[in-house]
Structure 1
Amino acid sequence: MNRRPVYSRSGKPRAAGASPWVEKDGVTPVFVDGPAEDEAPTLRQRAASGWQRLYARHQGPVLVAISALVTLAAVGAYDALKPPPQNITPGQFKASVNQIVDERPRPPSTASLVYGKVIRSVVRVNGYDPDEPEKKDDAAAPPKPPVTPLPGPQGAPNEPDNPAAQNPDGKGVEEDFHEKFTAVGTGVIIDDQGTILTNLHVAGAAKKLRVTFFDGSESEARIVGARPENDLAIILPDVIPDDLQPATLGSTANLHPGDEVEAIGFPFGIGPSASSGVVSGLRRSFEQGDKSRLTNLIQFDAAANPGNSGGPLIDANGDVVGIVTAILNPSGLRTFAGIGFAVPIESAAGAVGESPL
């Protein structure tokens, strides 16, 4: 029995506008399933379908390959756009390093830090005789230290006798040190009551004492205690400034030769001045002009001159470890020859009944 076909697999295109139904034997209509010409799959569609099947089957490796290609493309673009390397000569490298070093902020030195810690506690001690005139005759005046003329305004040299030529404060070194006062030294404030430690040969060399504080204020002072065996004197000013700042007392227990120290004072009336050095030795002895002997002294090489007497000797922490008391010069001159002596702070603090610790 012949079966009637339901659809046709014929690939022949039918005419445009022709009906999909045809008659068989001129009697029974039959549906023809062949696609129209415009609905047939093209070559591009078949290729796209093939790539989709390939991508679905190998999705992981395809993504890895695409990522690798993108990375290689980016690296290649960077290499193509990167500027060529510069050849730096040794001279250019050295100049660059020097420029960086010069422009880098430099930290303050240890000496300047400890100076700033104690300077507000340092005072100038002036001894004077109220019965004597301020100016002395040239014949009676001590010999003046040599002064090198400094270039003045418009390059004209100042005369040595001009007080402004020796001291920027407007007072001449000779006037301050030799004429107005019979003694000039240094002291250091050690407590909130304004107690000042200094040398006995400074405080005891004049009838009257006047101290000048860091802020420029002045006050009369008087001796309230002394320890001659250590050349120490304790003086107390009549008036103290509101912002009084006593020094921190240290200890010589851990002090060794070679340790850094700094002496602060008014050498030849100029100051406050700072000079740095090291501890040269401990437990030294020194014979004074009156044949009395000072013992257990700190020897140091920081520059000290007349006017430094009674000033503090401070360590690298800014603590007072001694009171400058003498200098040694085999020539007999009262100028520094590299050897100075200070009374240990333990002896100085003991003179006022205080412990430095």
Structure 2
Amino acid sequence: MARVIAPPEADAAGPSGDGDPGRPREDGAGMRVRRAGTRAARPFVAAWTWARRVPGRVWVVGIVAVLLLAAVGTYALTRPNPVAPVTQQDIDAKVKKGIDDQAKAEAAAPPDGTVAYQTIQPSLVLINAKRAGGSSGESGSGAGVIVKDDGTILTALHVVSGAEAITVSYTDGTSSPATIASQQPENDIATLSPSTLPQTLVPAVLGGGVQVGTPVFAVGHPLGLTDSLSAGVVSALDRSVNIGNGQKLEHLIQMDAAVNPGNSGGPLLNKAGQVVGIVTGLANPSQQGFFVGIGFAVPIATAGGGAGAPAQ
């Protein structure tokens, strides 16, 4: 009987002989060969195909969501520690510290009288007026204050009235002859022009008006005690005083700062060392030449006019 031999199986790829790309095949040398397109690449192809089908708005929303999550995470990692709530104990401690600091600052600051004295001292002068009388003449003393950069000295008229010779002594130890430059008898005010000036000329600063209760300081040479300061307050304003010979001084400042002979013509100061008046006299019912608690000064608004100062 004739033997029938089955024909060889045809390659699934047809005549080209490529076959299934996923199946190995033998080359001419009999070795098994796998095509480049492998099963490992299939998931990526599928993912790309899916991604292309997702709408663009979905991608935008997803990206924004990722960015928001990143920002929240960054803030959570970098945000500062929360501030502790302020308690009443904290407030009390702060208030106490502020009060203590203020007290320390006030204790370290110089007293008002010291500031006033140090400010006016370079401008203060001692005035000696020699008058005719007897064999050696009669001398009187008073105070004055330099008020202009030409050396003009402001003082009380009764300190220098009728003097044959006037000498002014400066705080640097030098002295100079002086003459009366102007006078206001109705206000007991005069100005002097010295022949020579101190090496360092420091005119005083003229202040404004004062009120009852304002702290004031009188600086002068009471009873020959040079460069003395006394303190008080303004007791009253717009006082009138009879000074004899039918003369009356008006619109005066009344103060309780101690003044005695030698204070006349000296400056009355506020706590900043500004001149607010010129000491002119004291009230003494006993007619004795010493202070009994009430002194008077011409306001600088009036006295300053005699030295050419602008109206206050």
Question: Does the alignment reach a TM-score above 0.5?
Answer: yes
What TM-score comes out, normalization by structure 1 length? Answer: 0.56
The whole-number CA distance in structure 1 between the counterparts of 2:227 and 2:311 is 24
Pick from 282, 291, 306: which aligns with 2:237? 282
- The alignment partner of 2:186 has SS state of helix
SS for the counterpart of 1:350 is helix
Q: Computing the radius of gyration over CA atoms, which structure comes out larger, 1 or 2?
A: 2
Q: What residue number does 2:52 align with?
A: none
What is aligned with 2:167?
210
Structure 1 residues 142-221: aligned runs within 5 Å: 182-221=139-178
Cα-to-partner distance string for 1:320-353 (whole Å, 9 max, x where unaligned): 0000001001111111000000000011111122
Residue identity matched to 1:349? G
Normalising to structure 2: TM-score of the pair? 0.64
Change in 2 beyond 3 A, CA 1:132/1:239: farther
Amino acid at match of 2:193: L
Given residue 246 of structure 1, which amino acid in structure 2 is its aligned partner? P
Give the gaps of 5 or more residues in structure 2: 1-102
Structure 1 partner of 2:302: 347
- Give, in angstroms, the shift of residue 242 of structure 1: 2.2
Q: Give yes or no for contact 1:124–1:184 (8 Å, CA) kept in 2.
A: yes
1:116-131 matches, within 5 Å, as 116-129=118-131
Which amino acid is 2:274 matched to?
D
CA distance in 1: counterparts of 2:295 and 2:257, whole angstroms: 7
Residue 289 of structure 1, CA deviation: 2.1
User: Which amino acid in structure 2 is aligned with residue 121 of structure 1?
Assistant: S
Residue 261 in structure 1 maps to residue 216 in structure 2: yes
C-alpha distance in 1 between matches for 2:299 and 2:199: 29
Deviations 1:49-97 (A, max 9, x none): xxxxxxxxxxxxxxxxxxxxxxxxxxxxxxxxxxxxxxxxxxxxxxxxx
Pick the aligned partner of 1:320 from 275, 281, 284.
Answer: 275
**2:301 touches 2:311 (CA, 8 Å); kept in 1?**
yes
Give me the whole-angstrom Cα distance separating, in 1, the residues matched to 2:250 and 2:244. 15
**May I ask how many residue pairs the two structures share in their alignment?**
209
Structure 1 segments, 4+ long, off by >6 Å, are: none
Q: Where in structure 2 are the equivalents of 1:1-357 lying within 5 Å?
A: 106-129=108-131, 134=136, 182-252=139-209, 255-355=210-310
Taking the aligned partners of 2:156 and 2:107, their CA distance within structure 1 comes to 41
Conservation of the 8 A alpha-carbon contact between 2:132 and 2:163: no
Which letter maps to 2:237? L
The code of the aligned residue for 1:189 comes to I
- The RMSD of aligned alpha carbons is 2.1
For 2:307 and 2:143, the matched residues in 1 are separated by: 18
Structure 1 gap segments, 5+ residues each: 1-100, 137-180
User: What is the match of residue 84 of structure 2?
Assistant: none
SS in 1 for 2:204: coil
Identity of aligned residues (%): 44
Q: How far does residue 356 in structure 1 lie from its aligned partner after superposition?
A: 5.8
